[in-house]
Structure 1
């Protein structure tokens, strides 16, 4: 017997003789009522159907139907795995997950591309936006998820879905770094010394997780104001408020960008101003804030290496109308340290601490201060300048890398 649409990849509800139950009538019954879909309505639709499902069958039918109508459909069981951070759908027959073990292909499949498109459309609609042929690429935020969808023919292999899962668990810095790595005292000093910092790295390198863990070390009397495109930071701290950007509505109005949120955050008495990810013109307001006395600020930036951060900042500065020379001066005086993360086959790891410096030519460059070399750490030419920022003046070279 064919598996009912929408139930592939998870256990199908079964009747008293163990045969799969067709969920379509239950789904139609719920959707025929325009009122909000709730767990109680789903359960009532199943129980009033008159089908002899048995207790286990009813529970499974409610679970599967709820996933179809309110959750991630056949992807729901993947999202429930605590180690999965991303679910990637490359058409109906190819679903991947990303997590602590890297990319893995799952056994979940869809019946056809129409089923993938239906799920994508429902998720995007739940986020207050529209996904159709006239608007084929959409990004939305839902409770616990960030969803990106692309429809054909923009996508060449069917409907594409990329789902980032926000995990409620907060890692401590010690859990992420581990005392044996040698990096812990340096990162603790960045927070304790209220240095302004950026965490750089490629996609999936753990920048957001690291930023949350570092913010958890902030003094309890400090007020943290978070500015994010999508709310993902969850620091373990008693005083955190968050601002989140907003896309324009279906009429094309009502958007609130990160630059505006940074300006609003400065009016909220932040002890630490945090920009979850610097990606555009908001870098101007962020650097200006750090240069006008807002110490202890932090954020993340996409870059494949610490040496690639200046180019990323220059590109963002150009979007804000900043000349390269002005950007170099602002960034070199505002930011105390760059913390670069790598993701390798061995997992996520800290690769480098670096300084930003304006050159005589008016450009921006990084100067390595502490660099991972295999299982050891080496001081770079920027260490003499970074050390007193971390541990105070007069420390000399008392510390050794990894001590």
Structure 2
């Protein structure tokens, strides 16, 4: 920022406009500058207008990054440290804020737009912006060096499976296997770490559901946007400042069951709602699905066991329901280069002790999925549903 449009001058103009509630038009900015005893040329006035609008409209300096269709995440670690992820790992950008206060103002404005409080008494916020972007912000002193801002971009259009094959997320021909799973109405979970592409894949898969079916989605934060004509989306809600109004994901799953779903979808299984989901999938709700955090497909039963404990399910009860409710796990991994891949598809089966374990049915191969020990079971499950993997 030039000396003519220094942060101090912009702050002074901002305060004058805030007192009157006026929009930062060129004429009003020029009047505020005259009141400050500064007479600037047209280009300098327009510079102040641009600086103010970048703070008052949209995501400010981050707007061009969010508009880039290849960007999935925007991370602000400080006024001069802005990173993006375009699917190939984190890249540092040339975007800069005037100072830490400018980052704080943007974070607070975005949080307010999402109906969240963000200040010294509540120094963090996790919310969904009106356009669907996922916001997380942390202010000092919790954020030690400067305010931190994380934006997860949700695109208005879901990817198609063919696009995921082209992008290398699925191996060649891998879309055929997943189509067979959907057609057979098998219940499944998409597992993987944070940022591995679970939501992207699940959105694409839901777009393959029959057009005559009703899809009811329950999410902690609404991110799934499947390309389907009959989707009902439910979103959890945190309590207000008085501690009232809390709506949990478990509440939403219970309500979804009363909404005649042909496909029940839980955006992310992360707590006690696992009990309602497993119960639903055991009572005629075929083809249900969701996502879960796990480091490997083989870790999913243990992960669900831990979540079941929060719902009061003991180990035996959880595994008994799990064995009858879910058919398979589709696992994604993000490698060190940032590429997201469906590395394995596992089927679920019970061991001699009655506990559920997973067995690999298909694993990643450069020429397509490679069949593994559990392939015969997966083929039988699909054939029962009238499809061929």
TM over 0.5: yes
1:153 to 137, 141, 144: 141
Deviation at 1:290, TM superposition (A): 0.6
Moved more, 60-69 or 198-207: 60-69
Q: Is the 8 A contact 1:329 1:358 kept in 2?
A: no
Partner of 1:352: 344
The number of equivalent residue pairs is 375
Partner of 1:286: 277
Q: Could you say if the C-alpha distance between residues 243 and 54 of structure 1 is closer, same or farther in structure 2, counting changes exceeding 3 Å?
A: same
CA distance, structure 1, for counterparts of residue 255 and residue 346 of structure 2: 30
Partner of 1:38: none
For 1:114-149, what per-residue CA distance to the aligned partner results, in whole angstroms no more than 9, with x for missing partners? 222222222222222222333223212111221111
2:198 to 190, 193, 207: 207
- Tell me: higher relative CO, structure 1 or 2? Use CA pairs within 8 A at least 6 residues apart: 2
Q: Could you say if the C-alpha distance between residues 330 and 97 of structure 1 is closer, same or farther in structure 2, counting changes exceeding 3 Å?
A: same
1:42 paired with 2:29, answer: no
Partner of 2:324: 333
Moved more, 288-297 or 48-57: 48-57
Q: Is the 8 A contact 2:297 2:344 kept in 1?
A: yes
CA distance, structure 1, for counterparts of residue 234 and residue 386 of structure 2: 40
Q: Any stretches of 5+ residues in structure 1 without a counterpart? A: 7-20, 35-40
Query: Counterparts of 1:289-328 in structure 2 under 5 Å?
Result: 289-328=280-319
Query: Counterparts of 1:8-157 in structure 2 under 5 Å?
Result: 23-24=10-11, 27-28=14-15, 30-33=17-20, 42=23, 45-50=25-30, 65-144=52-131, 145-157=133-145
1:361 paired with 2:361, answer: no
Q: Could you say if the C-alpha distance between residues 392 and 362 of structure 1 is closer, same or farther in structure 2, counting changes exceeding 3 Å?
A: closer
Q: Is the 8 A contact 1:354 1:366 kept in 2?
A: yes
Deviation at 1:25, TM superposition (A): 5.8
Partner of 2:266: 275
CA distance, structure 2, for counterparts of residue 112 and residue 50 of structure 1: 24
Partner of 1:11: none
Q: TM-score, normalised by structure 1?
A: 0.85
Q: Is the 8 A contact 2:73 2:86 kept in 1?
A: yes
Secondary structure of the 2:64 match is: helix
CA distance, structure 2, for counterparts of residue 32 and residue 49 of structure 1: 13
For 1:186-242, what per-residue CA distance to the aligned partner results, in whole angstroms no more than 9, with x for missing partners? 100111111111111111111111111111111111111111111111111111111
Q: TM-score, normalised by structure 2?
A: 0.88
Query: Counterparts of 1:156-235 in structure 2 under 5 Å?
Result: 156-178=144-166, 181-235=172-226
RMSD: 2.7
CA distance, structure 1, for counterparts of residue 140 and residue 281 of structure 2: 44
Q: Is the 8 A contact 1:226 1:273 kept in 2?
A: yes
Q: Could you say if the C-alpha distance between residues 265 and 29 of structure 1 is closer, same or farther in structure 2, counting changes exceeding 3 Å?
A: farther
CA distance, structure 2, for counterparts of residue 91 and residue 56 of structure 1: 26
Q: Any stretches of 5+ residues in structure 2 without a counterpart? A: 32-39
